[in-house]
């Protein structure tokens, strides 16, 4: 990108016809705050602060394409038009703040039905799931539970698999109608598509299982069908667990092959996460230190020749800048760090010398901070000299 002198983190990035104002993405974070799949005032405040905070792109929480595919009972959904209509004014407002907005479309599969983290995060028992207002049933590639405490899922038949694909397609059409900028397909963390990828969770012997190609088929078919209805001008992301956390399970080499196949279907960015096949992730051979998943992003970026998004314990501006400068990723996603500091992008810009005068802040905020700056600097000098 010759001609740029700004730090990589604040160089605009064009993906298809969408130009992001910077490389900072707010990672999807389940809020368990929706009402029958509808966005609520919580989502306005939750995403709104990130838009005002200067992020280039906000990715929604896991948004269910089917009521059976919810992670929790209060997940955001896009399985009907009314949910899309509720979301539309929020999408428009976020974009008016200069921030692109993307929906992460997902089906939780055999890991559907869990409590929020603050209630323990455990599997909800089938009796309580049956009492929910919407149809809710765990499904998967095979009749194998996600781990202790999880009920045995119903193995999807051919009709059920086709229904899942159509649900992703229908949700994508709804997302386009309300002006969403990006779709991210959630193919990680042990949810439905990830369970099809796994040689442990998927023990089918038909076209949807067996070989790596067969186990990849659902991911590839969803991506292919979604790309057909998602405008060519709009980016398509996919979140992968580059390694799924099981010994001898889905590997980095497998993810390179999958990333190449998804790229051929029109997926533009691989969002590189890891783990989550079951609740037991101790087998994951990656210490959870700073930037612990960045090597996955770097490997896929170079081996599959595809744009990647790095995520996981990226906490400060200089760390994020180094990842981009070293060619390890094209985008930086922050989640918990954004919760800790919703204005992280603006603070990062100041740290890197991009916006020392608060000119990139929302005008209603920047003017107050800009006027205070010399007074605050003088007060601090006086305090030091006293």
Given this model, what pLDDT does residue 132 score?
A: 75
The pLDDT assigned to 1 comes to: 40
pLDDT at residue 2 in the model: 42
Q: Give one word for 18, left, alpha or beta, with left for phi > 0 and alpha for psi -120 to 50.
A: beta
Task: Indicate the burial class of 155 (C-beta count within 10 angstroms; 0-12, 13-18, 19 or more).
Answer: middle
Predicted local confidence at residue 278, as pLDDT: 76
Q: How many other C-beta atoms can be found within 10 angstroms of the C-beta atom of residue 353? A: 10
* Strand partners for 334: 26
Per-residue pLDDT reduced to its tens digit, 115-149: 999 998 899 988 888 877 677 889 999 999 999 99
End-to-end CA distance of the chain: 48
Spans of the chain below 50 pLDDT = 1-3, 281-282
Residue 245's pLDDT is what?
85
pLDDT value, residue 108 = 97
Helix (H) or strand (E) holding 386: none
Q: Which of 4, 191, 200, 343 is catalytic?
A: 191
Residue 191: active-site member: yes
pLDDT value of position 141: 98
pLDDT in tens, 139-186: 999 999 999 999 999 999 999 999 999 999 999 999 999 999 999 999
Pairing of strands 307-311, 331-334: parallel
Residue 189, both tokens: 């963390």
Structure tokens at 116: 């929020």
| Residue in this structure with the two tokens 């368990």, named with its chain if needed | 32
Q: What contacts 62, CB < 8 A, 6 or more positions away?
A: 28, 30, 71, 75, 76, 104, 106, 108, 186, 191
Phi-psi region of 37 (alpha: psi -120 to 50; beta: other; left: phi over 0): left
């Amino acid at each position: 990108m010759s001609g740029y002198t700004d730090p990589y983190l604040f160089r605009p990035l064009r993906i298809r016809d969408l130009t992001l104002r910077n490389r900072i993405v707010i990672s999807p974070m389940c809020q368990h705050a929706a009402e029958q799949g509808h966005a609520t005032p919580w989502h306005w405040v939750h995403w709104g602060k990130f838009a005002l905070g200067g992020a280039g792109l906000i990715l929604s929480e896991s948004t269910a394409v089917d009521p059976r595919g919810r992670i929790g009972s209060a997940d955001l959904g896009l399985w009907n038009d009314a949910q899309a209509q509720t979301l539309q004014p929020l999408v428009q407002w976020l974009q008016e703040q200069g921030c692109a907005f993307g929906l992460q479309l997902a089906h939780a599969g055999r890991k559907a039905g869990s409590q929020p983290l603050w209630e323990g995060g455990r599997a909800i028992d089938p009796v309580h799931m049956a009492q929910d207002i919407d149809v809710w049933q765990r499904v998967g590639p095979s009749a194998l539970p996600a781990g202790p405490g999880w009920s045995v899922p119903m193995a999807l038949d051919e009709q059920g698999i086709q229904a899942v694909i159509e649900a992703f397609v229908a949700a994508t059409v709804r997302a386009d109608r309300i002006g969403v900028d990006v779709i991210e397909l959630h193919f990680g963390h042990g949810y439905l598509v990830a369970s099809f990828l796994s040689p442990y969770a998927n023990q089918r012997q038909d076209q949807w299982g067996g070989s790596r190609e067969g186990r990849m088929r659902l991911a590839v078919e969803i991506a292919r069908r979604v790309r057909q209805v998602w405008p060519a001008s709009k980016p398509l992301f996919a979140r992968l667990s580059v390694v799924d956390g099981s010994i001898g399970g889905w590997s980095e080499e497998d993810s390179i092959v999958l990333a190449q196949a998804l790229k051929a279907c029109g997926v533009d960015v691989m969002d590189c996460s890891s783990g989550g096949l079951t609740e037991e992730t101790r087998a994951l051979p990656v210490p959870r230190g700073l930037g612990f998943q960045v090597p996955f992003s770097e490997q896929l970026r170079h081996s599959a020749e595809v744009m990647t998004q790095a995520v996981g314990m990226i906490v400060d501006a200089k760390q994020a800048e180094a990842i981009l400068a070293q060619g390890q990723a094209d985008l930086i996603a922050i989640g918990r760090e954004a919760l800790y500091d919703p204005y992280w992008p603006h603070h990062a810009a100041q740290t890197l010398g991009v916006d020392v005068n608060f000119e990139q802040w929302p005008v209603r905020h920047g003017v107050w901070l800009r006027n205070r700056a010399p007074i605050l600097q003088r007060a601090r000098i006086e305090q030091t000299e006293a």
